[in-house]
Amino acid sequence: MSKYSVIGTRVHRVDGPEKVTGNAKYTFDLVLPGMLYGKILRSPHPHAKILKIDTRKAERLIGVKAVVTGKDTLGRKQGIWRRFSELCDEEILCREKVRYIGDAVAAVAAIDEDTAAEALDLIDVEYEPLPAVFDPLEAIKEEAPQIHDGVELNINITRHIEWGDVDEAFEKCDHIREDQYKLCSQAHVCMETHDAVASFDYGGKLTMWTSTQSSYYIQRLLADMTGLREGDIRVIKPHTGGGFGSKFELDSAQFCATILSMKLCKPVKIVLNREEEFTATKRRTPMYYFVKLGAKKDGTLLAKEVRAITEGGAYTAMGSTALYLTGFFSSFPYKYPNYRFDGYRAYTNTSPTSAMRGFGAPQSTFVSESQIDMMADDLGIDPIEIRRKNGMTPNYEVPGQAYIQSCGLHQCLDKIDAYIKERGKLPPNHGIGVSAYGFMSGGIFNWFDTPYAFSAAIVRINIDGKVDLFTGACEIGQGSDTTLSMICAEELGVKLEDIRIHAADTGICPVDLGAWGSRTTLMNGNAVKMAAADAKRQLLEFAAAKMGPNIVYDLDIKDQWIHLADRPERGISYFDIVKEAIRGKDGETIIGRGHYTPHRKGMISPAYSFGVQAAEVAVDPETGRYKLVNVTTAHESGTVINPVGIEGQLEGAIMMAGGYGYCEDQPMDEGKILNPSIADYKLIRSLDMPETEILEIDTYEPEGPFGAKEAGEGLTNPTAGAIGNAVYKAVGVRINDLPITPEKVLRALKEKQKKSK
Amino acid sequence: MKKGLKLKVNGQPYELYIKPKTLLVEVLRDHLALTGTKRGCDSSSCGACTVILNGMAVRSCSVLALQANGGEVLTVEGLAKRNELNSLQKAFLDYGAFQCGFCTSGMLMSATALLNENPKPTKEQIKEGIDGNICRCTGYNSIIRAVTAVVKGEYKEAK
């Protein structure tokens, strides 16, 4: 029997009944009395000077209440890397120059959306088009146009990571491979597009409802951009229709709605349409990778040298983090004794690239898992074996970078090995490819420069024993409201239905940095556990006084029963003690507080999860078309708090990561995205979805709440690599640029035929 | 020029006065405040706005409200009987067949239409039935399991 009553049980999501009845209200659904509707005018040019904006005709249109341009702002530049002013480079409403097709230049508020749209057509913007550059390899050339003043060669950020002696190590290698890869873009495609309702009142206070992954970041960034005090801004996150990395930066809907509302003292709602969502929000970073990998004959990897040049698009966004993480995770999940990464992020006149589920790691994992398979092939070693030989183990230190405590990589390799052997001989043109991966459980970065703890929670116990849990954590679909409620219930010894969670409202919840970097379960989970333990301690003081046990006994609560830990039958009702404790505290409710910031845990993350995935494909060699038959994953994420949630994360990640390997892309012509609609942007639908199987591995992470760690983004890392390796196993061709489309497979097959003739 | 529209939604008759270009989804969401039906693409490709019109699943972003004149519409709000969820809704809860929930209404309506037409669909038919609905969170398989559970009779409908 499990020692837990709530953790590890299959429960309904706490937001479930509202969601399956259509009753859950999203920002998209909100209507306030007197609310106006906003629309944003965007640049049709990839790079141009703004000479003049004439809004007079638009202002005269009946039903239009306000038109704003960059002149109505404080002219500040924002960015999420707040510690570094040179990386805060985005005005959102451009004043002098536009840098990509989609950059905002004006916004309108009107009595309805149709009128607002009509008004956009009446705004005259005079542009002077400038030479533009779209490819990062072109952007860093001397003759390329400069996109931001003072940024030479358009190099936005460089990152260097190194340990060991790479050059000397290559001398000792028996075999060295040098390969190049090209990684494509990917759109988040949240089902709810970016949207916001801003309501600025005559008292000078702003309330915003918005679809976001971090209500705190939006609050702080709006304060930076408007000059309002942080405390005068309340950001409320209603139910949110997906995020995947696209919704924790200040966006044009939030900022323009705010500027319009501040001008009018009326609520203004802006919802981006699907085309804007594709073209004027951020996206996954396309990258060029140049990799040198050296090994001994027996498969021991001695040295790796990586150079990555990434397409930044017009602004920094979260690009700095993505560049660092792609560099760090290029070494994962292996013990390279000697390693060097040099990354360059170039500004280009394309839509900005930023965070997307996996945060640079899906790119690096595709590269490294493809290359390690090629290395194994060269050396005549089994792909599982080479991974075993070099794979990370518990208590491993990535030199100078990170300390890994729990690690179940080898158990995962064993399970996948057994699975493949059991699958036996495959039909013709089928292949199984494997891919190993790891990911962090939240980042130890504070580029945002918050003075607050990374996560915090407050637990309040009411007279009837019901518990209010207040946390800044953001439920975006990943299940955090449920997982955190489960942690709270377990620690406090009550039932899940005793908990009511109030989350992501900066007016009433303590700060949390938000749902990104797979941080919520570990970081916010620790804060919630601490808050619940604090409340519980207060109850137990009263219980101990009442029960008067021998001092050698300590008390605990489980299933609403306060009892001697060693003699569970001797106890007292939780509900009775709650009543007495509140009376004893002169009528004050019981309030527990908790907070968490990782300390002394290296530079990257307090914990890492690991896994190995096997993808089976069936290729039609006549057409290059292939089917994803099955994706089986051995994954370890420490103690499983919410099993239904983890299964959902795993299967959902395969849809997204499979799409990254298989079909998703954003082709461009002169900076214009050519497929900005769901009809044209190919993603995996139910008929393309492979069978999925999950092989759970038990591990325990000492740093996590009840031993838990991440299970969100890491799962996005392996699939593209596994698909690439599977296609190779099936028909013997390698595709080094994503996505691996039938066209590329067919071309490679023809190439191969030609060579063999 | 506004036109009259008579419509039964979830059994409730309505009479409205609307612009001829008004979409069915706009009548449902903006006029009747039935916001359970979502809009994801406005081009009939994501399925978030799926409702059942005269027994057929339709994309309400691509149907003029006047085309539905005199018709009967079922939306997600019409699935639960008073305060009791129906079988599909219960199965979606049990099998974790949704995460962010934004596609869920449309997904439930496509599945409802499928089961009305074919109460015993195969797995492949279930996949086909929801192929027009995009879910960016779940990877579909949990949805397929939930529908399968209903097909297998794991749930009893409230009378």
Average of per-residue pLDDT across A304-319: 97
Say whether both B94 and B64 belong to one domain.
no
Q: Which residues contact A293 (CB under 8 A, 6 or more apart)?
A: A176, A177, A178, A179, A301, A303, A304, A371, A372, A375
Confidence at residue A728, expressed as pLDDT on a 0 to 100 scale:
98
Say whether both B93 and B143 belong to one domain.
yes
Domain stop point among B31, B50, B78: B78
> How far apart (Å, rounded) are the C-alpha atoms in residues A157 and A733?
35
Domain range spanning residue B134? Answer: 87-151
Q: Which residues contact A414 (CB under 8 A, 6 or more apart)?
A: none
Residues of chain B with pLDDT > 70, as a percent, come to 99
Residue B117 domain-assigned?
Answer: yes
Q: Give me the residue label for tokens 């049990």.
A: B94
From residue A194, alpha-carbon distances to A89, A645, B75 in Å are: 21, 24, 24
Are A652 and B143 inside 8 Å of each other by CB?
no
**Minimal Cα–Cα distance from A441 to chain B, Å?**
20
Please give the helix or strand (H or E) that residue A106 lies within, else none: strand A104-110
Say whether both B55 and B121 belong to one domain.
no
> Which of B29, B92, B131 lies closest to A686 in CB terms?
B131
Place B82 in a pLDDT band, splitting at 50, 70 and 90.
confident
Place B158 in a pLDDT band, splitting at 50, 70 and 90.
low
> How far apart (Å, rounded) are the C-alpha atoms in residues A314 and A89?
9
Q: Token pair for residue A263?
A: 């001008």
Confidence at residue B5, expressed as pLDDT on a 0 to 100 scale:
98
Are A13 and B43 inside 8 Å of each other by CB?
no
Residue ranges of domains in chain A: 16-23+454-596, 31-130+191-242+247-279, 358-436+605-756
B91 interfacial to chain A (CB closer than 8 Å): no
pLDDT over threshold 90, residue A712: no
Say whether both B68 and B8 belong to one domain.
yes
- Choices 3.10.20.340, 3.30.365.10, 3.30.428.10, 3.10.450.50: CATH for A358-436+605-756: 3.30.365.10
Average of per-residue pLDDT across B86-92: 98
Are B137 and A477 inside 8 Å of each other by CB?
yes
Say whether both B105 and B145 belong to one domain.
yes
pLDDT over threshold 70, residue A490: yes
Are A655 and B76 inside 8 Å of each other by CB?
no
Say whether both B92 and B51 belong to one domain.
no
Average pLDDT, chain A: 97
Say whether both B91 and B72 belong to one domain.
no
Beta strands in A164-264 (DSSP E): 175-183, 195-200, 206-210, 233-236
Are B98 and A16 inside 8 Å of each other by CB?
yes
Q: How many domains does chain B have?
A: 2
Q: Give me the residue label for tokens 């088009």.
A: A129
Residue B70 domain-assigned?
Answer: yes
Identify how many contiguous H helices and E strands chain A contains and give both numbers.
18, 32
The CATH fold assigned to A16-23+454-596 is Aldehyde Oxidoreductase; domain 4 (3.30.365)
Residue B158 domain-assigned?
Answer: no
Are A686 and B98 inside 8 Å of each other by CB?
no
Say whether both B69 and B19 belong to one domain.
yes
Place B156 in a pLDDT band, splitting at 50, 70 and 90.
confident
> Which of B42, B89, B103 lies closest to A191 in CB terms?
B103
How many residues can be counted in chain B? 159
> A294 has which bridge partners?
A176, A303
The two domains A16-23+454-596 and A358-436+605-756 share their CATH topology (first three levels equal): yes
Place B136 in a pLDDT band, splitting at 50, 70 and 90.
very high
Residue B143 domain-assigned?
Answer: yes
Homologous superfamily (CATH) for A31-130+191-242+247-279: Aldehyde oxidase/xanthine dehydrogenase, a/b hammerhead (3.90.1170.50)
B61 interfacial to chain A (CB closer than 8 Å): no
Mutate which of A18, A19, A26 to test chain B, going by most B C-beta atoms within 10 A? A19
Closest CA to A187 of A295, A308, A280, A283: A283
Which of chain B's residues have a Cβ under 8 Å away from the Cβ of A273?
42
Q: How do A691-696 and A626-636 pair as beta strands?
A: parallel
CA dihedral A454, A460, A466, A468 (to 10 degrees): -40
Domain stop point among B49, B78, B107: B78
Residue B159 domain-assigned?
Answer: no
Q: Can you give the CATH number for the domain in which B20 is found? A: 3.10.20.30
pLDDT digits (tens, 9 = 90+) for A319-342: 999 999 999 999 999 999 999 999
Closest CA to A206 of A176, A227, A177, A185: A227
Residues of chain A with pLDDT > 70, as a percent, come to 100
Confidence at residue A456, expressed as pLDDT on a 0 to 100 scale:
98
Q: Give me the residue label for tokens 């259509």.
A: A22
Domain stop point among B78, B107, B129: B78
Say whether both B95 and B143 belong to one domain.
yes
Say whether both B69 and B136 belong to one domain.
no
Average of per-residue pLDDT across A159-170: 98
> Which of B127, B136, B143 lies closest to A191 in CB terms?
B136
Helix, strand, coil tally for chain A in percent (to 5): 30, 25, 40
Residue B156 domain-assigned?
Answer: no
> How far apart (Å, rounded) are the C-alpha atoms in residues A507 and A31?
20
Residue B52 domain-assigned?
Answer: yes
pLDDT over threshold 90, residue A478: yes
Say whether both B92 and B132 belong to one domain.
yes
Please give the helix or strand (H or E) that residue B42 lies within, else none: none
Residue B125 domain-assigned?
Answer: yes
Query: Can you tell me whether residue A402 is helix, strand or coil?
Result: strand
Closest CA to B91 of B66, B67, B126: B126
Q: How far is CA A518 from the centre of its chain?
A: 7
pLDDT digits (tens, 9 = 90+) for A177-209: 999 999 999 999 999 999 999 999 999 999 999
For residue A425, the tally of other CB atoms under 10 A from its CB is: 5
Q: Token pair for residue B91?
A: 């199965």
Say whether both B113 and B62 belong to one domain.
no
Q: Can you give the CATH number for the domain in which B129 is found? A: 1.10.150.120
